[in-house]
Chains A and B, each alone.
Chain A
Amino acid sequence: MTLQSFRSKGASRVRNLMAGALMASTALAGSAAWAETTITAVMHSGLRVLDPIITTAHITRNHAYMIYDVLVAVDGNFAPQPQMAEWSVSEDGKVYTFTLRDGLMFHDGTPVTMADAEASLKRWAEKDSGGQIIMDRTESLTATDDKTLVWTLTEPFAPLLDTIGKQSALPPFIMPARIAATPTDTAITEHVGSGPFKFVEAEFQPGVSVTYVKNEDYVPRDEPADNMAGGKVVHVDKVVWSTMPDASTAINALLGDEIDYIESVQVDLLPLLEGDPDVINEKREPLGYQTIGRMNFKHAPFDNVKVRQAAMMALDQQAILSALVGNPDYYEICGAIFGCGTPLADTTGSDSLTSGGDLEAAKALLAESGYDGTPIVLMAPTDVVALAAQPVVASQALRNAGFNVDMQPMDWQTLVTRRASQNAPADGGWNMFFTNWLVPEISSPLVSPMLNGRGDGAWFGWPEDEKIEELKAAFIAASSLEEQQKVAAEIQAHNMEQVLYVPVGQYALPQARRSNIVDMLPSPVPVFWNVKKEE
């Protein structure tokens, strides 16, 4: 099997990375205390949007993993495993038959059926780019009875299970059919899942606090929890996500035992935690994030490939990462668009990025391009710590190379609405911005949102690039990991030549917990099953 071999190589690497990082997930159930246990956690941002299908915001996805369940989930080796359903694949690879396991109930008391799964998958596939690719190849997707779902393809699509089992950006969460009937341009208003926690609507304060209680009716799988797969056994009665207005406040609260857990701690503040024996900080997931720069292909000057190349040449990963993270233990200079530590990693064409930037080359390219001094509108979010440093350092580098940079500070929400605008930069549009992706979100050409060359159908920036589409088709057709790696290397080279996007390196944000919070899973998505709170 191609995918099996694809995985096994990455697997050992991933396992090695994880080994040092965290604890084993199987532990004997501790003394069952009857006192109500609550974990109060500070997550990376406030939860405001509750519909996991209309947004790729990580906080919304994390919320969805609390209250919804998924048919298929990936384990620690990125291999799809049964979660709500087992499956079988026909000989020709065109028919997938999913069988629902017993005992699953929605939080409103109705049993889960495959009709719900069918409706949920269809709503998801309208929004998710992987889902769209599958739908292009789908003959039918039907629940044949309460327990059976048959997905018939027009041609084999090997990554189907990986796509519906992925943990980001948009996993297909299963909701009751009546809720999944909501059109995708409208947010759902009812939050009923079948997952291990229930959402407490009455205690939800958008952007401030959200409360989950244990779903007593949930039937976990028997296998031990492994990444997003395996049994979701809940050992706490209540989980409260609380938002803190600034990082110092959260740190102080953790030190004062007012909260139990911080999802991401700014590395600069780690020294404050290191002195306290009751607080543990650690890297949660091994690969971390890739931070990226994206230019707008629709408007001058970045509609000119030479100017894009010049801009990339000017950037220096080291400078950006040290301003962003500081402590080198927590960042990695990495020129691979698919992320270092992944099976497809290749660093062709990234020398200038990873070795301090090449100002002379940048100046030369810029002169050659005929750049006329048009100001570059660089959008700079000021309210998201993990995104604030990149544009500030980049604007200096670009200016040094001879660009006329108009850095416009704004809050992230404004950036999100503005990047959707195709207007001219002077007229409410933009030229460049930075964002971050979890490495699994960009580790393959099939999932990476930036590697889409369909013009207006592409991700913000809207490159029209037939070549990348051809390369992606070649990737899907590749029959072995070696072949896939070969295509991936071509994609890397093509990206660096066309500058579809600029990889600016990888970093990890450590998490911090009170020492009585044990057995947290080292998954890329922070989850609250398996974890225990000791007295």
Chain B
Amino acid sequence: MRLFTWWLRRALSAVVTLFLVSILIFAASRLMPGGFAEVVLGPFATPEQKAEVAAKYGLDESIVVQYWLWLTTALTGDFGISMISGEPVTTEFGLRLPVTAQLTLFGVVAAILIGVPLGVLTAVRAGGRRGGAALGRLASGLGVSVPEFVLGSIVVFLFSRYALGLTVGGYVPFGEDPGGNLRSMLLPAAVLSVFVVAVTARTTRDAVLNVLVEPYITAAIARGESPGSIVVRHVLRNASIPVVTVLTTVTAYLLGGAVIIEYLFNLPGVGTYIVQAVGRRDYAVVQAGVLLAAVVFIVMNMLTDAAAGVLDPRFGSAAKGRKR
């Protein structure tokens, strides 16, 4: 029952946050200098032409009315139409989602298959030798210190010169040509994975190190349990909450669009689309894109809490003391 009320409060709080986010997004999109009319009609448009365009897209209403209209229709799943293409915003995003989803999938799979084991391994080894700890720290720092645009640029350079069977740019949908799709997605996914894997490994390493100093680990060692058994039975679950948190956060951010990677490799994903829309003052697209990214993030946050509730039996009793 206590858990139920906690979740109710949690959900309400998420709704309030989302409401505030929507106001912020709307305000930001209207605060941008140079309106849609100028962008479409160019600098030499007459005031009459501008007024006509504004009326067509409802931009002549007061800002509060515009916001209210947007919010209420958005709640029904209608995010309006792109003022550039004239297509519904949902259709436009639907076209770009597969790219983003594929990148996200690659990134998260790499994080789970490489990042988590790497973090566990470097943490467990850190306790063994002196000096080994510093090397682990260096490795975990290196991955998160290499920006995507530097690594990506270098990869683009290397593979443009020595193709090695992989293509740079020239996205092909998976449905049309699975092989070609993989060839064009492998490099961006790899560059993206470096950062995602490093962040995951770093967080995992940190979480495991925090568990390794707990008295129950000493007690398990003192009972003669083997290192493998200690890691599997005692360390992993106790270190899992920060790891799950970083995984869900990374997933949320990737679904919001890996802007730089998409830009570098010329992929038609959600991220580049939002950035282009900002440049074109395509309000409906900007608002829908950022709002959906925020929704994904907030939902992921709640999933994290749900996972924490399953993973840590103290969660329910801690919730009552947890002031938010």
Are the chains A and B members of one assembly? Answer: no
Which A positions have Cβ atoms within 8 angstroms of B?
Answer: none
Which B positions have Cβ atoms within 8 angstroms of A?
Answer: none
